[in-house]
């Protein structure tokens, strides 16, 4: 889904900013619904691709600094390196860099600047085909423009938006706390069901194109769905359902 910039008057802009500042649960809302409702400060709509990548650069660096990264010699890094060769080294021409975070959390995400991060907790519970399917799904969100929308939403609903009018433009001199807030909003952002389905299909199509079995998507969904909600941070933003697994199964059957 594409969104257009809202033509807001001065009073409407002020109301949008007040709404964003006062709505504590806004970060957990569906991004498409929020964009349509007009509950966003107008600077979010004006974020260019370069702005989003600059914010992603800073946000990813902040996340890396706060996380335990698997060293190149670790089994996690070596395993992801093998999987990454199957996924490719760019997304729509943007170079990708892969890293593993050592944590029991079950998650994976990607940003518009090519930053792809996989949690060791997810790798512990999934085989290579499943990890490839999930990471391909996350890369699909980047390729299809979903992460740009997510970063725009995160920017509009985080403390980072307060530096918009300061010297240095959108990115400006973001403090550690502002970057932390921005990163948290992005990681916890929810994608719409249509976006999730499109990212599923992207992962499926890319794997078929490269000659790999996409069946790992099905079992990955099943494993995520079986998890207790408190164990997986992916469940809040990646609702795994039988219908999604069935959709991939149907695509596998029809492609034989």
pLDDT in tens, 110-142: 999 999 999 999 999 999 999 999 999 999 999
Task: Kindly report the number of other CB atoms within 10 A of residue 237's CB atom.
Answer: 16
Beta-ladder partners of 116: 98, 110
Mean pLDDT of 61-75: 96
What per-residue confidence (pLDDT) applies to 169? 62
Least confident residue range of 119-123, 153-157, 229-233: 229-233
Mean pLDDT of 85-95: 95
With contact defined as beta carbons under 8 Å apart, do 233 and 106 qualify? yes
> Quick one: pLDDT at residue 36?
41
Give the other-Cβ count within 10 Å of 106's Cβ.
Answer: 22
Q: What region, left, alpha or beta, does residue 215 occupy, with left being phi > 0 and alpha being psi -120 to 50 degrees?
A: alpha
Say if residue 225's pLDDT is above 90.
no
* Per-residue pLDDT at 188 exceeds 80: yes
**Which sequence positions are flagged as catalytic?**
138
Contact 78, 99 (CB under 8 A): no
Residues 6+ apart with CB under 8 A from 156: 20, 40, 41, 43, 44
How much is the pLDDT for 84? 97
Q: Return the domain boundaries, the chain.
A: 10-254
Does 161 have pLDDT greater than 80? no
Contact of 70 with 124, CB cutoff 8 Å: no
User: Dihedrals φ, ψ of 91, to 5°?
Assistant: -125, 110
């Amino acid at each position: 889904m594409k969104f257009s910039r809202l033509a807001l008057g001065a009073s409407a802009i002020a109301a949008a900013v007040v709404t964003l500042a006062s709505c504590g649960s806004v970060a957990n809302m569906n991004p498409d619904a929020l964009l349509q409702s007009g509950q966003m400060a107008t600077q979010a709509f004006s974020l260019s691709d370069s702005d989003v990548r600059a914010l992603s650069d800073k946000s990813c660096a902040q996340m890396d600094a706060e996380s335990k990264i698997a060293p190149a010699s670790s089994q996690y890094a070596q395993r992801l390196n093998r999987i990454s060769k199957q996924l490719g080294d760019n997304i729509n021409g943007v170079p990708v860099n892969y890293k593993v975070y050592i944590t029991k959390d079950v998650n994976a995400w990607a940003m518009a600047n090519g930053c792809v991060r996989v949690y060791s907790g997810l790798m512990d519970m999934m085989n290579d085909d499943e990890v490839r399917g999930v990471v391909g799904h996350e890369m699909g969100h980047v390729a299809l423009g979903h992460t740009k929308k997510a970063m725009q939403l995160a920017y509009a609903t985080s403390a980072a938006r307060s530096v918009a009018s300061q010297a240095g433009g959108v990115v400006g001199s973001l403090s550690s706390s502002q970057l932390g807030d921005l990163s948290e909003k992005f990681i916890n952002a929810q994608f719409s069901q249509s976006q999730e389905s499109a990212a599923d299909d992207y992962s499926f199509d890319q794997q078929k194109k490269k000659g790999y079995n996409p069946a790992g998507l099905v079992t990955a969904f099943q494993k995520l769905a079986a998890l207790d909600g408190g164990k997986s941070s992916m469940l809040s933003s990646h609702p795994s359902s039988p219908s999604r697994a069935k959709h991939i199964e149907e695509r596998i059957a029809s492609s034989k």
